[in-house]
Amino acid sequence: MEPLTVAGIRLGTACAGIKYPNRRDLVIIEATAGTRAAAVFTQNAFCAAPVTVARTHLQQTAPRYLVINTGNANAGTGVKGLSDAETTCRALAEHTGCRPEEVLPFSTGVIGEPLPLERLVTGLPAALAALRPDGWMEAAHGIMTTDTRPKWASQRLNLSGRDITVTGIAKGAGMICPNMATMLAFVATDAVADQALLQRTLNEAVANSFNAITVDGDTSTNDALVLLATGQSGVNIPLEGEDRDLFACTVRDVCIELAQAIIRDGEGATKFIAVQVEGGQDVAECRQVAYAIAHSPLVKTAFFASDPNWGRILAAVGRAGLADLDLEQVTIYLDEVCIVRAGERAVDYTEARGQEIMARSDIAIRIELGRGMETARIWTTDLSYDYVRINAEYRT
């Protein structure tokens, strides 16, 4: 199966030699005139130069082109980095006849190295010549860095007898603890949508997808997620009502599929772990407990070893920082198996059952706090030898 095309969107990919020869590392996404856009970006204070430029351009006008390079993050590069990002936009504008502010730049790769601007600019004509509506899969390959496979998702939605399409691609495998989105993700629809509605829809989708994943607790300098609405289907999304809700659910589901694909491809990951915390006083404290578990190296290495060392999970819950936590109300499950009840080892728990669960590739941890009605869920990975190797060798 291939990603569904989105009317009004074309994608082109080229090998520009930004870091490696003969590797797809430059992607252009073209949006038809009249396309509206919404975006979210990293909250890392050391945001990359292309993030700064893309934010500024989005405040000025709607984009016609997105240009993405891999192999170099153009982050931590100061004034020169900003100049290089702007030069990239001007160069693409000269080739296409659009204004520079109608171009949004995105970069991913090694932080702190100068962008090889000449190679990037030289590669633009080839990427433009490759533009086509069915270029989604090549683009998904073109934005990869340490990813082992391309990540894409597509859904078609029928509203009042007419179809709309939502398709997206993403990249990310390490430095993943988004506080907005993932390292890079691009989603498009052919629906007609007001810009404010588009932004609200994106914010809602991100909260339950890209903002609910973590590989290693590190938020990138380059995180960016863009949602484009070309309007080419002629199907108008109302500001409120059932059609709006169905549209929002479809965008959210595409984002969830992309976010989960990032976790499944986490650097060195062998386990896909869902952490669900129930019975909290509010969503924030549920997420606080979930991330305490997901970010624990001891918990993550136990999962890699398939070791049912449930005391590490218990300890993570206890140090999550919840005030007045009543331990006797806490219950912990591994999949269907209760491991902790009333704050201590469940009397019917056996090591054999725990071992059986931990041997699975997909595992759910469920925590019942017994202090409220709120729930939160995040997805994470184990921590393997390969994660250390990949990141130790990243620049070599």
Q: What is the pLDDT of residues 231-256, one digit of tens each?
A: 999 999 999 999 999 999 999 999 99
For residues 157-188, one letter each, b for 16 or more C-beta atoms within 10 angstroms of the residue's C-beta and e for the rest, the string is bebeeeebbbbbbbbbbbbbbbebbbbbbbbb
Tell me, what DSSP letter sits at residue 192? B
Q: How many C-beta atoms lie closer than 10 Å to residue 204's C-beta? A: 15
Q: Which residue has the tokens 């899969």?
A: 137
pLDDT tens-digit readout, 291-344:
999 999 999 999 999 999 999 999 999 999 999 999 999 999 999 999 999 989
Q: What letter would DSSP give residue 238?
A: P
CATH number assigned to the domain comprising residue 90: 3.60.70.12
- The answer on 163 and 305 residing in a single domain is no
Structure tokens at 357: 């669960």
Question: For residues 254 and 171, what is the distance between their CA atoms, to the nearest angstrom?
Answer: 14
Cα 228 to the chain's mean position, in Å? 16
State the Cα–Cα distance between residues 31 and 83, nearest whole angstrom: 24
Please indicate whether residue 182 is annotated as part of the active site. Answer: yes
Q: Which of 223, 152, 190, 156 is nearest to 36 (CA)?
A: 190
Domain-terminating residue out of 264, 290, 314: 264
Residues 156-171: tens digit of each pLDDT: 999 989 999 999 999 9
Q: How many C-beta atoms surround the C-beta of residue 271 within 10 A?
A: 22
Residue 72, phi then psi, degrees to nearest 5: -155, 125
Q: By residue range, what is the domain housing residue 294?
A: 272-392
Helix, strand or coil for residue 5? coil
**285 and 220 belong to one structural domain:** no
> Which amino acid is it at 119?
R
Does one domain contain both 277 and 255?
A: no
CB 236 within 8 A of CB 36: no
- The answer to whether residue 100 sits within a structural domain is yes
* Residue 1: per-residue pLDDT: 82
Do 165 and 47 lie in one domain? The reply is yes
Give yes or no: residues 321 and 173 share one domain: no
- Same domain membership, residue 283 and residue 231: no
> How large is the average pLDDT for residues 283-288?
97
Percentage, residues of the chain above pLDDT 90 = 92
Is 87 or 268 the better-scoring residue by pLDDT?
A: 87
CATH of the domain at 365: 3.10.20.340
Q: DSSP secondary-structure letter at 111?
A: T
Q: Judge if 65 and 175 occupy the same domain.
A: yes
Residue 169 lies in a domain: yes
Catalytic residue among 77, 165, 167, 182: 182
- Which of 264, 288, 310 is the last residue before a domain boundary? 264
Regarding whether 297 and 237 lie in a shared domain, the answer is no
Give the separation between CA 135 and CA 116, rounded to whole angstroms.
25
Where does 331-378 have alpha helices with state H?
351-358
Please state, in angstroms and rounded to a whole number, the distance separating the CA atoms of residues 12 and 23: 14
How much is the pLDDT for 395? 77
Q: What is the pLDDT of residues 93-135, one digit of tens each?
A: 999 999 999 999 999 999 999 999 999 999 999 999 999 999 9
Looking at residue 182, its pLDDT comes to 67
Q: Please check whether residue 2 lies inside any domain of the structure.
A: no
Inter-residue contact 273 to 333 (CB < 8 Å): no
